[in-house]
């Protein structure tokens, strides 16, 4: 009888869920569904190193790029829900819900948000030869020449494209979209005067703006950028309600125990809220987040609905 009770207790201990154990007890994979060098990759490697040192376990970053982020995301969606495979994903996840109709996972069915870890704005710039010196002047010029002015992007469905389509919708302007293979080519065309305007990452454009190779008109966040505080937001400059804020956040497979999610969130928050981490990321124009999982869920729901309307109205297709 005693042996039976001891055996039952041992089996119960073996089946204890991850939340009853001290996470992490083994290496943790952080899947980044994009190539090296982007915001998600930079952030994953930074906090992976910090978490590894703090928790005494390796946090291994793996880049699984392809299909607009859906390949790497699907790996996490199908991973064991044990807290040892995480996804570092951008707000591309919310646009893919509408844009990628045949993807092998569904966002809220297969993934659970853990925490947003940073947010960042874009900046609207024009070629210096354009006579518009302000956002209001650009809108007036575009309305006076419908279909004549163009904006560049890094390709259909990218943040730069969607920011431009949102701008068109909210201003009633007829702008020509000129997609490029990547953001570098789009940037070069605006600097060279071949395309009149684009929305781009603040970090990528800061030096170019300071070198007077393009003219900055506004940033896209709800509040002014800490990197360019003298530049108004699009909403301030003439388009009330306009906002494009990109973010990067951590997700886990659906079914990961709630206590494990809570522990992962607490460790992530502790690392990202360190003053030295905040200072480092602010130089890259990243604003550090400290929101709960529930607050992150609201951001996801809002963005999914917002971009569904923009993608549908603009008739943006996956190809």
The enclosing H or E element of 4 equals helix 2-14
Domain residue spans of the chain: 27-120+246-314, 121-237
180 has pLDDT over 60: yes
Angstrom distance (rounded) from CA 314 to CA 162: 9
- Burial of 53: CB neighbours in 10 Å, binned 0-12, 13-18, 19+: exposed
Name the one residue in this structure whose structure tokens are 């044990």. 82
C-alpha pair distances (Å), 152 with each of 7, 75, 108, 284, 295? 67, 32, 32, 23, 33
- pLDDT for position 6: 38
Q: At what angle do helices 258-272 and 275-282 cross, to 10 degrees?
A: 70
Summarised one tens digit per residue, pLDDT across range 162-172 is 999 999 999 99
Give me the phi and psi of 54, to 5 degrees please: -75, -35
Q: pTM of the prediction?
A: 0.82
Radius of gyration of the chain (CA): 22
- pLDDT for position 15: 40
Contacts with 133 (C-beta within 8 Å, 6 or more apart), sequence order: 215
- pLDDT for position 37: 80
Residue 33 CA to its chain's centroid (Å): 11
* pLDDT bucket at 2, cuts 50 / 70 / 90: very low
- pLDDT for position 315: 87
- pLDDT for position 290: 63
117, 287 contact by CB (below 8 A):
no
* pLDDT bucket at 158, cuts 50 / 70 / 90: confident
Asked whether the CA dihedral 196, 199, 203, 204 is positive or negative, the reply is: negative
Exposure class string for 91-108: b at 16+ Cβ within 10 A, else e: bbbbbbbbbbeebebebe
Output the average pLDDT for the chain. 88
- Burial of 268: CB neighbours in 10 Å, binned 0-12, 13-18, 19+: buried
* pLDDT bucket at 221, cuts 50 / 70 / 90: very high
Comparing 294 with 124, the larger pLDDT belongs to 124
Q: Three-class SS of residue 88?
A: strand
| Mean pLDDT computed over 108-120 | 90
* pLDDT bucket at 282, cuts 50 / 70 / 90: low
The closest of 77, 49, 68 to 251, measured between CA atoms, is 77
CATH number of 121-237: 3.40.190.10
* pLDDT bucket at 18, cuts 50 / 70 / 90: very low
197, 190 contact by CB (below 8 A):
yes
285 has pLDDT over 60: no
The DSSP letter of residue 233 is B
Would you say domain 27-120+246-314 falls under CATH 3.50.50.60?
Answer: no
The closest of 237, 205, 204 to 218, measured between CA atoms, is 237
20 has pLDDT over 60: no
- pLDDT for position 274: 86
Encoded tokens for 178: 């000129």
136 has pLDDT over 60: yes
250, 117 contact by CB (below 8 A):
yes
Summarised one tens digit per residue, pLDDT across range 287-314 is 656 678 888 899 999 999 999 999 998 8
Summarised one tens digit per residue, pLDDT across range 236-272 is 999 999 999 989 899 999 999 999 999 999 999 888 8
Comparing 196 with 119, the larger pLDDT belongs to 196
The enclosing H or E element of 129 equals none
Summarised one tens digit per residue, pLDDT across range 44-57 is 999 999 999 999 99
């Amino acid at each position: 009888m005693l042996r039976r009770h001891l055996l039952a207790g041992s089996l119960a201990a073996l089946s204890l869920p991850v939340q009853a154990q001290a996470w992490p007890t083994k290496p943790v994979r952080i899947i980044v569904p994009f190539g090296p060098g982007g915001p998600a990759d930079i952030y994953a490697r930074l906090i992976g190193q910090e978490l590894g040192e703090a928790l005494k376990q390796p946090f291994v970053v793996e880049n699984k790029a392809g299909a607009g982020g859906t390949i790497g995301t699907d790996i996490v969606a199908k991973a064991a829900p044990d807290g040892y495979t995480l996804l570092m994903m951008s707000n591309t996840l919310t646009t893919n819900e509408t844009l990628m109709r045949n993807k092998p996972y569904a966002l809220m069915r297969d993934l659970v948000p853990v925490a947003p870890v940073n947010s960042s704005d874009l900046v609207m710039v024009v070629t210096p030869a354009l006579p518009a010196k302000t956002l209001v002047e650009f809108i007036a010029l575009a309305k006076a020449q419908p279909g004549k002015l163009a904006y560049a992007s890094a390709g259909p469905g990218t943040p730069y494209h969607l920011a431009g389509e949102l701008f068109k919708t909210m201003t009633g302007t007829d702008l020509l979209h000129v997609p490029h293979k990547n953001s570098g080519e789009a940037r070069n065309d605006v600097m060279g005067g071949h395309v009149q305007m684009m929305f781009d990452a603040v970090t990528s454009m800061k030096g170019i703006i300071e070198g007077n190779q393009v003219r900055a008109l506004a940033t896209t966040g709800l509040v002014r950028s800490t990197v360019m505080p003298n530049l108004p937001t699009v909403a301030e400059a003439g388009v009330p309600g306009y906002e494009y804020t990109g973010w990067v956040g951590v997700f886990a497979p659906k079914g990961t125990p709630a206590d494990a999610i809570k522990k992962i969130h607490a460790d992530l928050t502790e690392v990202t809220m360190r003053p030295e981490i905040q200072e480092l990321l602010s130089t890259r124009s990243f604003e550090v987040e400290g929101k709960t999982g529930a607050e992150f869920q609201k951001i996801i729901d809002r963005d999914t609905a917002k971009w569904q309307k923009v993608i549908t109205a603009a008739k943006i297709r996956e190809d």
